[in-house]
């Protein structure tokens, strides 16, 4: 969902989260995450690594940005577009998070 349209009081399904559409919701479901509350306290880096492992290949680095955005949102931060976190990810992990 577009971060500008997210309503924290109306989080029922994964696609109610900022930056989450049906494809990433399906990825999260593979991790056993079926509702927004399941993301509280989760590490975006661990989620990224688990998805890479399940799919037997490193995932797009932008997925890590999305995971950062939704875990931080569920930990209380304002909803932000996923690319808000790109510079931070590149600064911390470089351009290739598969080296985590």
* Cβ pair 67, 89 in contact under 8 A: no
DSSP 5-70: G--GGG--SGGGSTT--HHHHHHHHHTT--SGGGGTT--HHHHHHHHHHHTTSPPPHHHHHHHHHH
pTM above 0.75, yes or no: yes
Query: What is the domain partition of the chain in residue ranges?
Result: 3-99
Q: What is the CATH number of domain 3-99?
A: 1.10.150
pLDDT digits (tens, 9 = 90+) for 54-79: 999 999 999 999 999 999 999 999 99
**What mean pLDDT is reported for the chain?**
92
Whether the predicted pLDDT of 12 surpasses 70: yes
> Do 36 and 8 form a contact (C-beta atoms < 8 A)?
no
pLDDT score of 99 more than 60: no
Q: What does the pLDDT read at residue 95?
A: 67
Residue 96 has phi, psi (to 5 degrees) of: -125, 90
Q: For a pLDDT cut of 70, what percent of the chain falls above it?
A: 94
């Amino acid at each position: 969902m577009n971060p500008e349209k997210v309503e924290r009081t109306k989080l029922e399904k994964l696609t109610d989260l900022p930056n989450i559409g049906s494809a990433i919701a399906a990825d999260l479901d593979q991790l056993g995450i079926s509702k927004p509350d399941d993301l509280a306290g989760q590490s975006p880096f661990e989620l990224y690594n688990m998805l890479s492992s399940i799919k037997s290949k490193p995932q797009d680095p932008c997925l890590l940005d999305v995971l950062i955005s939704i875990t931080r949102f569920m930990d209380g931060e304002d909803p932000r577009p996923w690319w808000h976190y790109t510079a931070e990810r590149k600064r911390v992990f470089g351009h290739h998070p598969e080296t985590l």
